[in-house]
């Protein structure tokens, strides 16, 4: 495994790219949006500078990191030499399936195709390719270069070899892994979606303020972040897509909180738009 191609340069794609390049992989990152690629390039340069200032890497590493990532809008160019593709586009099953069909056509026969989906079925995505045994879900957490876990989810036809190779990549990235049998939301998104949704329901019902709900969870239940600040970090649009999928597949318990729906309609998407449950200063 030498070259990792990341498809989707948003919140997750750019931090997965940074992790991969930091740990010695050649990285190509592709997105349909030029702006997303520019933002990803800035993000990677900024993170490398921060790591240098903190003494975690040396000057040479900064050059190596910035030189070993290529940015392109061409999916064909991004796929042709990939050993592993990690897809990190929106949580939309039709889009993921369409892209996996393209990866299947454009990549080498032995390339592994992974999705960073938070909730969806790698089996359903893999079934539309000619290589279901080489498809898998590799669920990173936000931000991927700081969070320790990768959930690895086997589809029905994922081979043991693919699972082992992906596990090895995750370990090279210095991650802990858990093996999950496919089910909507896996372990983490299923649990976390409910906690976040209940926090939003509490605010909507006037039980406590945004700040106090988060404070209660941090100081009372020892969560490192409040569920509402976490939802803002994830992106409220992304969280709504996750909850909608869980609601459709697992039922009523997962119905997205109406306040979340309202915020997304208003364009309050969390940190990425400057306002969600909290307000953020762009600077």
62 versus 183: smaller Cβ distance to ligand NAD: 183
C-beta separation of 165 from 134 below 8 A: no
Regarding 107 and contact with ligand NAD (CB under 6 A), the answer is no
Q: Residue 117 CB, nearest distance to ligand NAD (Å)? A: 5
| Contact region with ligand NAD (CB under 6 A), list: 28-36, 77-85, 175-183, 212-220 | 28-36
What whole-number distance in Å separates Cα of residue 93 and Cα of residue 245? 9
In the numeric block, which tokens belong to residue 175?
């991650």
User: What order do you get walking across the sheet with 149-154 strand by strand?
Assistant: 69-72, 26-30, 3-7, 84-87, 112-115, 135-139, 149-154, 176-181
Identify the H or E element spanning 242: helix 236-250
Regarding 185 and contact with ligand NAD (CB under 6 A), the answer is no
Regarding 36 and contact with ligand NAD (CB under 6 A), the answer is yes
Q: What is the dihedral of CA 226, 248, 264, 253, to 10 degrees?
A: -40
List Cα–Cα distances, 98 to 27, 80, 89, 134, 207, in angstroms.
Answer: 22, 17, 11, 17, 43
Strand pairing class (112-115; 26-30): unpaired
Regarding 47 and contact with ligand NAD (CB under 6 A), the answer is no
What whole-number distance in Å separates Cα of residue 152 and Cα of residue 155? 10
Q: Can you tell me which of 3, 121, 192, 238 binds ligand NAD, judged by CB under 6 A?
A: 238
Regarding 142 and contact with ligand NAD (CB under 6 A), the answer is yes
Residue number with the smallest Cβ distance to ligand NAD: 10
Regarding 51 and contact with ligand NAD (CB under 6 A), the answer is no
Q: Can you tell me which of 34, 76, 90, 161 binds ligand NAD, judged by CB under 6 A?
A: 90
Regarding 4 and contact with ligand NAD (CB under 6 A), the answer is no
Regarding 67 and contact with ligand NAD (CB under 6 A), the answer is no
Q: Residue 73 CB, nearest distance to ligand NAD (Å)? A: 8
| Contact region with ligand NAD (CB under 6 A), list: 47-55, 85-93, 169-177, 216-224 | 85-93
In the numeric block, which tokens belong to residue 131?
């290589």
Q: Can you tell me which of 5, 19, 118, 197 binds ligand NAD, judged by CB under 6 A?
A: 118
List Cα–Cα distances, 279 to 76, 235, 264, 274, in angstroms.
Answer: 39, 13, 14, 6
Q: Residue 33 CB, nearest distance to ligand NAD (Å)? A: 4
Regarding 88 and contact with ligand NAD (CB under 6 A), the answer is yes
Regarding 116 and contact with ligand NAD (CB under 6 A), the answer is yes
Give backbone dihedrals phi and psi of 76, rounded to 5 degrees, phi first: -60, -50
| Contact region with ligand NAD (CB under 6 A), list: 46-54, 83-91, 148-156, 160-168 | 83-91
Q: Residue 106 CB, nearest distance to ligand NAD (Å)? A: 12
Q: Residue 139 CB, nearest distance to ligand NAD (Å)? A: 6
Show the beta-strand stretches assigned E in the chain: 3-7, 26-30, 69-72, 84-87, 112-115, 135-139, 149-154, 176-181
Q: Residue 145: name the closest of 274, 270, 21 by CA.
A: 21
Regarding 117 and contact with ligand NAD (CB under 6 A), the answer is yes
Going by the DSSP 8-state scheme, the letter that residue 142 receives in this structure is: S
Site of interaction with ligand NAD (CB under 6 A): 7-13, 31-33, 36, 88-91, 95, 99, 116-118, 140-142, 234-235, 238, 242
């Amino acid at each position: 495994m030498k070259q990792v191609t990341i498809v989707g340069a948003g919140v997750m794609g750019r931090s997965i790219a940074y992790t991969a390049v930091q740990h010695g992989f050649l990285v190509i990152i592709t997105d349909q949006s030029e702006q997303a690629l520019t933002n990803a390039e800035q993000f990677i340069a900024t993170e490398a500078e921060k790591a240098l200032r903190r003494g975690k890497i040396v000057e040479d590493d900064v050059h190596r990191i910035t030189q070993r990532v290529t940015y392109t809008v061409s999916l064909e160019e991004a796929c042709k030499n990939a050993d592993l593709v990690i897809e990190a586009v929106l949580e939309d099953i039709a889009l993921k399936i369409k892209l996996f069909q393209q990866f299947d056509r454009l990549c080498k026969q032995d390339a592994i195709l992974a999705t960073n989906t938070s909730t969806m079925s790698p089996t359903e995505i893999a079934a539309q390719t000619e290589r279901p045994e080489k498809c898998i879900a590799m669920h990173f957490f936000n931000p991927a270069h700081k969070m320790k876990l990768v959930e690895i989810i086997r589809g029905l036809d994922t081979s043991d070899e693919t699972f082992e190779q992906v596990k090895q990549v995750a370990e090279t990235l210095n991650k802990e892994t858990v093996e999950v049998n496919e089910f909507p939301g896996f372990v983490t998104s299923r649990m976390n979606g409910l906690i976040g949704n209940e926090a939003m329901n509490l605010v909507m019902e006037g039980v406590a303020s945004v700040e106090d709900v988060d404070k209660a969870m941090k100081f009372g239940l020892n969560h490192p972040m409040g569920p509402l600040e976490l939802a803002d970090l994830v992106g409220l649009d992304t969280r709504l897509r996750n909850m909608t999928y869980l609601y459709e597949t697992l039922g009523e318990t997962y119905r997205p909180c109406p306040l979340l729906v309202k915020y997304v309609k208003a364009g309050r998407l969390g940190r990425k738009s400057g306002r969600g449950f909290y307000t953020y200063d762009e600077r």
